[in-house]
Amino acid sequence: MASVLILNGPNLNLLGTREPGIYGAQTLKDVEALCHETAAGLGLTADCRQSNHEGELLDWIHQAGADQAAGHLIGAVLNAGAYTHTSIALHDAIKGSGLRVIEVHISNVHAREPFRHHSYLSPAAAGIVVGFGTEGYPLAIQGLHRLASAAQS
């Protein structure tokens, strides 16, 4: 069975513990359960990971590119947190690995501080889901599945 990789970056382990007005009340565990359920409905398994370390995210993206090329993975849903706005390294990893990535943000970053308006990842992403709260994750998995299926046919 093919899988979908769900990557969450820095501070997303704090979901549901603070700032519910911005990020909602669901914990990361709740979000991951939603991803497992969505993936199962599409005949996929979800591999959910979170890291506060840029290098670990880079390593996972590199490996995922190889897994996608081998046909084991349809791509990744990536909420890179604040690295979205700072990391040329993540941009280069997505491009260099060939990984199909849907960029997700729980909040509508464009309605927030100006420093959140620019993403280094968007030009490398296959799609973007922003501002749907944690429902953005199932939406991104569904969109990724459709893109991957279309690429096969």
Q: Mask: binding to ligand CA2, 53-92, rule CB under 6 A, as x and -?
A: --------------------------x-xx-x--------
Residue 107 is a binding residue for ligand CA2 (CB under 6 A) = yes
Residue 109 is a binding residue for ligand CA2 (CB under 6 A) = yes
Task: Give CA–CA dist 72/126, Å, rounded.
Answer: 18
Choices 46-54, 58-66, 70-78, 105-113 (CB under 6 A): range interacting with ligand CA2: 105-113
Catalytic member of 83, 91, 105, 120: 105
Q: How far is the CB of 113 from ligand CA2 (least distance, A)?
A: 8
The sign of the CA dihedral 131, 134, 137, 138 is negative
Query: In which element (H, E) is residue 149 found?
Result: helix 136-152
User: Looking up tokens 């990984």, which residue turns up?
Assistant: 99
Is 105 one of the catalytic residues? yes
Q: How far is the CB of 136 from ligand CA2 (least distance, A)?
A: 8
- The residues facing 50 across adjacent strands are 8
Q: Count the site residues for ligand CA2 by CB under 6 A.
A: 17
Residue 14 is a binding residue for ligand CA2 (CB under 6 A) = yes
* Of 118, 50, 133, residue with least CA distance to 86: 118
Q: For residue 137, with 0-12 CB atoms within 10 Å meaning exposed, 13-18 middle and 19 or more buried, which class applies?
A: buried
| Nearer of residues 4 and 67 to ligand CA2, judged by Cβ | 4
Strand 3-8 relative to strand 101-105, pairing: unpaired
Choices 58-66, 92-100, 104-112, 120-128 (CB under 6 A): range interacting with ligand CA2: 104-112
Is 83 one of the catalytic residues? no
